[in-house]
C-alpha cells in the first residue's frame, strides 16, 4: 500500500516580512557595536535607537545573563538550582532578587520560609518599590491559594512545587516538552510562562535539551507572525517559528545580509519566537497601519543606558565561553548591555 502524504500549504509572506530579518541583523549589530563602544550611537535607525528591544539572542539579555550567573556561580544542588531559578523568574527583576539575597544573607531551600519571604516583599512594596518586572504579566494565583497579595500566592506556588519534588521530576524528564507539561500542570502558569520557565531551567545543568526541540508561541509573537504573514496556510504558529529557524541562512543570503550568530550559534527556536515579539513592537511604529488587530500603537519602554556593568557568560554546555575573545570580555564588563 502507498501512503498518501498531504502537502501543507505554506504561509504567505506579507509586504513587511523582510523586516523580520533586517531587524534581526540591525539589532544584533547594535549588540556587537556596544561591545566596542559603550556610548554610541550604534545605529541610524531611530526606532531601534530610541526604544528598548531585547537582544535577538535571549541568553545574552541582562536578565537572562543574571540568571545564568546565579545558576553557575557556585556548586548547587538540583533542588537549589530549581528553587533559585523559579524564585528569580517569578519576579523577573534583578533588584527584587538582590533585595531578598541581601536581607536573608543567602537564598536556599534549606532556610526557605513563606512567612519570612512574604514579610520582606510586603515591606518592599510598602516602601514603594516595584517587585515584579513589567516584561511578563504574572497571574496572581489568588483564586487557588487565597492570599491577599500576589507575591504571597506565588511563594505558596513555589512551596507546592518543592513539596511535590518537581525538581526531581524535571531532572528525570526525557524531553523539553515533558518539562513544559510538568510546569503547565501548576495553577496560574499558562503556556507562555511554562515555556519561558522551561527555557530558563534548560540554561542550568539540571536538564540539557536542544533549544531546537520545542517552542511555544506567546501572544506578542503571534501578533508579529500575523504582521509578517498575510496567511498562515496550514501552519501553526509554532510551525512558522520552526520554518524561520530552518530558513535563517537562506533568507539572510537572499536579502544580502550577514547571518547573525552568537559566536557561531545560530538563532534557536526561542530566539525566533522572541524576534517575532520584538518585530511586532518595531512595526507598531514603522507601520502603524498594521496595528488594528492588536490595538497596540506604541512601544512602552524607551531605551536607557545600562546602570552597571556585567560580563557575558553562557551555559558552559553550549561551549561558547571559550569562543569569547579576551578583548570582548573586557569590553562586555564595561557596562554596555540593555
Lowest mean pLDDT among 120-134, 255-269, 285-299: 285-299
- Residue 45, pLDDT above cutoff 70: yes
Per-residue pLDDT tens over the stretch 196-229? 999 999 999 999 999 999 999 999 999 999 999 9
Q: What is the pLDDT of residue 298?
A: 60
Q: What is the mean pLDDT of the chain?
A: 90
Per-residue pLDDT tens over the stretch 47-93? 999 898 999 999 999 999 999 999 999 899 999 999 999 999 999 99
More confident residue, 33 or 331: 33
Summarize the confidence of residues 127-137 as an average pLDDT.
Answer: 90
By percentage, how much of the chain surpasses pLDDT 70? 88
Summarize the confidence of residues 151-158 as an average pLDDT.
Answer: 96
Q: What is the pLDDT of residue 327?
A: 42
Banded model confidence at residue 336, pLDDT cuts 50, 70, 90: very low
- Residue 123, pLDDT above cutoff 80: yes
Distance of alpha carbon 133 from alpha carbon 94, whole angstroms:
9
Summarize the confidence of residues 39-54 as an average pLDDT.
Answer: 87
Q: What is the pLDDT of residue 289?
A: 86
Q: What is the pLDDT of residue 4?
A: 57
Per-residue pLDDT tens over the stretch 258-294? 999 999 999 999 999 999 999 999 999 999 888 765 5
Distance of alpha carbon 278 from alpha carbon 282, whole angstroms:
6
Distance of alpha carbon 97 from alpha carbon 253, whole angstroms:
43
The full set of domain ranges for the chain reads: 12-28+215-324, 62-203
Lowest mean pLDDT among 33-37, 132-136, 325-329: 325-329
- Residue 23, pLDDT above cutoff 90: yes
- pTM here is 0.90
More confident residue, 119 or 327: 119
Q: Under a CB-based contact definition with an 8 Å cutoff, are residues 8 and 234 in contact?
A: yes
Identify any residues that bridge with 265 across adjacent strands, giving them in sequence order: 262
Residues 6+ apart with CB under 8 A from 92: 63, 132, 133, 135, 136
- Residue 99, pLDDT above cutoff 90: yes
Pick from 26, 19, 13, 38: nearest CA to 336: 38
Per-residue pLDDT tens over the stretch 300-324? 655 455 556 667 999 999 999 998 8
Residue labelled with grid coordinates 554610541:
40
More confident residue, 43 or 104: 104
Q: What is the pLDDT of residue 215?
A: 98
C-alpha 203: how far from its chain's center?
11
Summarize the confidence of residues 32-41 as an average pLDDT.
Answer: 81
How, if at all, do strands 12-13 and 229-231 pair?
Answer: antiparallel
Q: What is the pLDDT of residue 139?
A: 84
Lowest mean pLDDT among 84-88, 127-131, 140-144: 140-144
Amino acid at each position: 500500500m502507498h501512503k498518501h502524504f498531504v502537502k501543507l500549504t505554506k504561509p504567505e509572506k506579507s509586504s513587511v516580512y523582510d523586516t523580520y530579518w533586517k531587524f534581526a541583523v540591525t539589532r544584533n549589530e547594535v549588540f556587537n557595536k556596544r561591545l566596542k563602544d559603550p556610548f554610541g550611537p550604534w545605529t541610524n535607525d531611530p526606532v531601534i535607537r530610541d526604544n528598548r528591544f531585547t537582544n535577538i539572542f535571549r541568553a545574552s539579555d541582562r536578565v537572562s545573563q543574571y540568571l545564568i550567573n546565579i545558576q553557575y556561580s557556585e556548586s548547587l544542588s538540583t533542588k537549589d538550582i530549581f528553587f533559585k531559578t523559579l524564585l528569580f523568574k517569578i519576579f523577573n527583576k534583578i533588584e527584587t532578587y538582590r533585595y531578598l539575597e541581601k536581607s536573608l544573607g543567602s537564598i536556599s531551600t534549606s532556610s526557605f520560609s513563606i512567612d519570612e519571604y512574604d514579610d520582606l516583599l510586603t515591606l518592599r512594596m510598602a516602601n514603594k518599590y516595584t517587585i515584579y518586572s513589567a516584561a511578563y504579566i504574572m497571574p496572581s494565583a489568588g483564586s487557588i491559594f487565597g492570599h491577599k497579595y500576589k507575591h504571597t500566592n506565588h511563594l505558596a506556588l513555589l512551596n507546592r512545587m518543592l513539596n511535590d519534588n518537581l525538581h526531581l521530576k524535571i531532572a528525570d524528564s526525557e524531553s523539553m516538552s515533558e518539562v513544559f507539561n510538568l510546569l503547565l500542570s501548576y495553577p496560574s502558569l499558562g503556556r507562555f510562562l511554562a515555556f519561558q520557565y522551561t527555557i530558563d531551567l534548560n540554561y542550568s545543568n539540571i536538564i540539557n535539551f536542544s533549544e531546537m526541540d520545542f517552542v511555544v508561541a506567546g501572544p506578542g509573537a503571534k501578533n508579529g507572525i500575523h504582521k509578517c504573514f498575510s496567511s498562515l496556510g496550514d501552519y501553526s504558529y509554532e510551525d512558522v517559528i520552526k520554518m524561520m529557524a530552518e530558513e535563517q541562512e537562506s533568507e539572510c543570503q537572499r536579502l544580502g545580509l550577514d547571518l547573525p550568530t552568537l559566536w557561531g550559534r545560530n538563532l534557536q527556536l526561542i530566539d525566533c519566537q522572541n524576534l517575532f515579539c520584538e518585530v511586532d513592537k518595531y512595526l507598531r511604529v514603522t507601520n502603524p497601519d498594521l496595528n488594528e488587530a492588536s490595538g497596540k500603537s506604541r512601544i512602552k519602554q524607551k531605551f536607557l543606558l545600562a546602570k552597571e556593568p556585567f560580563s557575558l557568560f553562557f551555559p558552559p554546555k553550549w561551549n561558547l565561553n571559550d569562543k569569547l575573545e579576551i578583548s570582548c570580555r573586557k569590553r562586555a564588563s564595561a557596562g554596555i548591555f540593555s
